[in-house]
Structure 1
Amino acid sequence: MKALAPIMLALVLALPAQAQERPRDWQPPPPETVPNHRELWRNVLIELATYAKTRKPGFVVLVRGGTELVVKGEREAAWEEIQDPEGKTFEKRLPLRSVFRPYVRVVDGMVVDGLYCGPDALGTPLDKAIKDRQELDAKLAEEKAQGIQRPPVPQQFGPFSIDPKEELRKAAEIKRAAERQERQRRLIYAVEALRQQGRSILSIEQCKTQKEADAAYKGAARDHVLSYAAVGDEDLSKLQRGHPQGENAMPVTAITAARNWMPLLRADRFGNKAAWLMAMERTNHDVMLIDVAHRGSDPLTKDEVNRLRFKKLGAPRLMLAVLPVGKAYDWRWYWKREWVAGNPPFLFALDNTDPGSFITEVDDPQWKELLGKYLAGIMDLGFDGVVLDDLDTYLWFEELMPLDR
Structure 2
Amino acid sequence: MKNSFVMIAVMAIVIVLISGCIDIVTNPNSPTSRDYWQDMRAFVEGISAYAEGIKPNFIIVPQNGHELLTEDGEPNGSLSRAYLEAIDGVGQEDLFYGYTHDDVHTPLSQREYMISLMDVAENNDIEVLVTDYCSTRPSVDDSYSQNAAKCYISFAAAHRELDNIPKYPANPYNVNASSVTSLTEAKNFLYLINPGSFPDKNAFLDAIRETNYDIVIVDLFYDDIALSASEVASLRVKANGGSRLVIAYMSIGEAEDYRYYWQREWETNPPLWLAEENPEWPGNYKVRYWDNDWQNIIYGKDDCFLKRILDAGFDGAYLDIVDAFEYFEDQ
Of 375-384 and 240-249, deviating more is: 240-249
Q: Which residue of structure 1 aligns with residue 79 of structure 2?
A: 99
Q: In the alignment, is residue 384 of structure 1 matched against residue 310 of structure 2?
A: no
**What is the correspondence of 1:87-166 to structure 2 with a 5 Å cutoff?**
97-119=77-99
Q: Which residue of structure 1 aligns with residue 42 of structure 2?
A: 43
Q: In percent, how many aligned pairs have the same letter?
A: 29
Q: Which residue of structure 2 aligns with residue 59 of structure 1?
A: 58
Unaligned stretches of 5+ in structure 2? 1-28, 102-106
Q: Which residue of structure 1 aligns with residue 252 of structure 2?
A: 325
1:63 corresponds to which letter in structure 2? P
Among residues 200, 205, 208, which one is paired with 1:277 in the alignment?
205
1:382 corresponds to which letter in structure 2? G
1:269 corresponds to which letter in structure 2? S
Alpha carbons of 1:184 and 1:34: their partners in 2 closer, same or farther (altered >3 Å)? farther
1:236-282 deviation line (CA, Å, top 9, x unaligned):
11112222111111111111111110000111112322221121121
Q: Which residue of structure 2 aligns with residue 398 of structure 1?
A: 329
Q: In the alignment, is residue 222 of structure 1 matched against residue 149 of structure 2?
A: yes
Q: In the alignment, is residue 246 of structure 1 matched against residue 174 of structure 2?
A: yes
Secondary structure of the residue that 1:349 maps to in structure 2? strand
Q: In the alignment, is residue 237 of structure 1 matched against residue 236 of structure 2?
A: no
**Structure 1 residue runs of 4+, over 3 Å off?**
183-186
Q: Distance in 2 between matches of 1:224 and 1:397?
A: 33
**What is the correspondence of 1:77-92 to structure 2 with a 5 Å cutoff?**
none
CA drift at 1:69: 1.0
Aligned length: 292
Q: Which residue of structure 1 aligns with residue 5 of structure 2?
A: none
Q: In the alignment, is residue 259 of structure 1 matched against residue 187 of structure 2?
A: yes
Of 333-342 and 38-47, deviating more is: 333-342
CA drift at 1:189: 4.1
Q: Distance in 2 between matches of 1:243 and 1:341?
A: 48
Q: Distance in 1 between matches of 2:126 and 2:273?
A: 31
Q: TM-score, normalised by structure 2?
A: 0.82
Whether the aligned pair in 1 keeps the contact of 2:67 and 2:73 (CA below 8 Å) is no
Alpha carbons of 1:350 and 1:341: their partners in 2 closer, same or farther (altered >3 Å)? farther
Q: Which residue of structure 1 aligns with residue 120 of structure 2?
A: 193
CA drift at 1:30: 7.5
CA drift at 1:226: 0.2
1:377 corresponds to which letter in structure 2? R
CA drift at 1:230: 2.4
Q: Distance in 2 between matches of 1:235 and 1:211?
A: 21
Q: Distance in 1 between matches of 2:77 and 2:33?
A: 21
CA drift at 1:340: 2.2
1:207 corresponds to which letter in structure 2? C
1:112-156 deviation line (CA, Å, top 9, x unaligned):
0111213479xxxxxxxxxxxxxxxxxxxxxxxxxxxxxxxxxxx
Q: Distance in 1 between matches of 2:113 and 2:79?
A: 12
Q: Distance in 1 between matches of 2:138 and 2:268?
A: 43
Among residues 249, 260, 267, which one is paired with 1:340 in the alignment?
267
1:118 corresponds to which letter in structure 2? G
Q: Distance in 1 between matches of 2:113 and 2:58?
A: 28
Q: TM-score, normalised by structure 1?
A: 0.68
Q: Distance in 2 between matches of 1:359 and 1:331?
A: 14
Unaligned stretches of 5+ in structure 1? 1-28, 76-94, 122-176, 401-405
Whether the aligned pair in 1 keeps the contact of 2:252 and 2:321 (CA below 8 Å) is yes
Q: In the alignment, is residue 288 of structure 1 matched against residue 216 of structure 2?
A: yes
Q: Distance in 2 between matches of 1:54 and 1:285?
A: 28
Q: Alpha carbon RMSD of aligned pairs, Å?
A: 2.3
CA drift at 1:185: 6.1
Among residues 211, 215, 235, which one is paired with 1:308 in the alignment?
235
CA drift at 1:234: 6.4
Alpha carbons of 1:370 and 1:244: their partners in 2 closer, same or farther (altered >3 Å)? same
1:12-69 deviation line (CA, Å, top 9, x unaligned):
xxxxxxxxxxxxxxxxx986x3411011111111000111123222211111011121
